[in-house]
Structure 1
Amino acid sequence: MLEKLERELMLLSRHQVLARRERDPERLERSAYLLLSRIDTQGPMSIGQLAEAFGLDTSTVNRQTAALLRCGLAERVADPDGGMARKLRITGEGGRRLAEDREVNRSCLARVVAGWSPEEVRELEDALARLNRSAEALEGRHWPRAEEAEEGGARAACRPPAPHGSPDPAPQAPADPAP
C-alpha cells in the first residue's frame, strides 16, 4: 500500500538535491541551511538545544555550528533569556545567504508547479505539512513554523542583526543534520 508513497518521497528528495547545491558553490550546505532555518524560526539556540531539536549528538552539532561560525553565518551571543549557555544567532551575512537560498528554492518550486492551480499547490502544502507533523509527533521533536512564531509575536526576535561585513570564504558545514 505504501510502495508508491515511498517511491515518490525518494524521488522528491532526489529532485531537491539536484535543484540545490551542486550547481552553485555559493549555496549553503544542507546542514547549514537546516541549522540556520531552525535558528531563524525559533531564535537564538544553544548547541544543546540544536542537538535536541535534530536528535543528534552535541559533538556533531558542535562541528556543524563551528563551520557556521567560521563562515560568519552565525555568532555566539549571551542567552537572551539570561541562561548560562551561550547561544547561536544568525549574522547579517547568514540571514542574507539563507534568504538567497530560500528564494532560489522557491524559484525552482515555481517552475515545477507552474502548470498547477493555486488550489492544487495549497493541497500539496497541506498534505506535506500533515506528513511532516505526523513524523514530528512520532519522533517527539516539533519543528516550529514561521507562521506559529508570527502568531505568538516572537518573529521579531528571530530576525538576524544588521550585516557585519563580508566573511572570508571558508568551508561549509561537513555533515547533514537529520531532517
Structure 2
Amino acid sequence: MLLGRHSHLYAPRSRAAGWHLDRSAYVLLSRIRMDGPMSISQLTEAFGLDASTLNRQTAAMLRAGVVERIPDPDGGIARKFRITEEGERRLASDRTFNVQGLERVLEHWTAEEVAAFAAALQRFNQDIERLDGRPWPRP
C-alpha cells in the first residue's frame, strides 16, 4: 500500500498537467500492448471488472486518442481496442518517467538488493494473479 500511496515521491508528475495517463489507462494500455487488440469482454475477463466500468474507461481512452476501435483481426463479431501511436508514445513516456522515479528511490541500493526486491515483487504479483485466476502474460 505504501508503494502506491507514496508514488508522488518517486513519480511526482501533476495529474492536473493532463499529459500523463491515469492509472486505469496505464494498466489497460499495458495489457493491450502485451496481448494485442482486445474486446470489452476480453478486458472484462482479464481484469475482472464490470463491462460498464470498462466502457467508461475505454470511452475516455478513445477521447484521449490513445486507443482506437477496430474490427476483430480474427474475424470475430466484437470490435476491439488497439493502441494508437499516441497511446504507444504516452505509455512509453509514462513508463520511463515511473522507472526514473523508482531509480531515485533505489539509488542507494546495491544491484543485489534491487534484483532481490524485483524478484520478490514479481513472485508476489504472480501469486496474487494465480489466486485470482487472472495471470498476466509476460514477455
Both structures adopt the same fold (TM-score exceeding 0.5): yes
Q: Which residue of 2 aligns with 1:133?
A: 126
Q: Deviations over 1:102-151 (max 9, x none)?
A: 00001001111111122211111110010011100111001112x2xxxx
Q: Which amino acid aligns with 2:7?
A: Q
Q: Percent identity?
A: 58
Q: Is 1:107 aligned to residue 87 of structure 2? A: no
Alignment of 1:58-137 (within 5 A): 58-137=51-130
CA shift, 1:43, in A, is: 0.8
Q: 1:13 aligns with which of 4, 15, 27?
A: 4
Q: Cα–Cα, structure 1 residues 21 and 113, in superposed 2: closer, same or farther, change >3 Å?
A: closer
Give the whole-Å Cα distance in 2 for the aligned partners of 1:124 and 1:19: 16
SS in 2 for 1:107: helix
Give the whole-Å Cα distance in 1 for the aligned partners of 2:72 and 2:24: 23
Q: Is the contact between residue 21 and residue 27 of structure 1 (CA under 8 Å) also seen in structure 2?
A: no
Q: Is the contact between residue 21 and residue 28 of structure 1 (CA under 8 Å) also seen in structure 2?
A: no
Q: Deviations over 1:12-55 (max 9, x none)?
A: 12122554475252111111111111101111100111111111
Number of equivalences: 137
**Relative contact order higher in (CA < 8 Å, ≥ 6 apart):** 1
CA shift, 1:71, in A, is: 0.9
Q: 1:35 aligns with which of 23, 28, 32?
A: 28
Where structure 2 has 5 or more consecutive residues not aligned to the other structure, the ranges are none
Where structure 1 has 5 or more consecutive residues not aligned to the other structure, the ranges are 1-9, 148-179
Give the whole-Å Cα distance in 1 for the aligned partners of 2:89 and 2:38: 19
Q: Which residue of 2 aligns with 1:56?
A: 49
SS in 2 for 1:88: strand
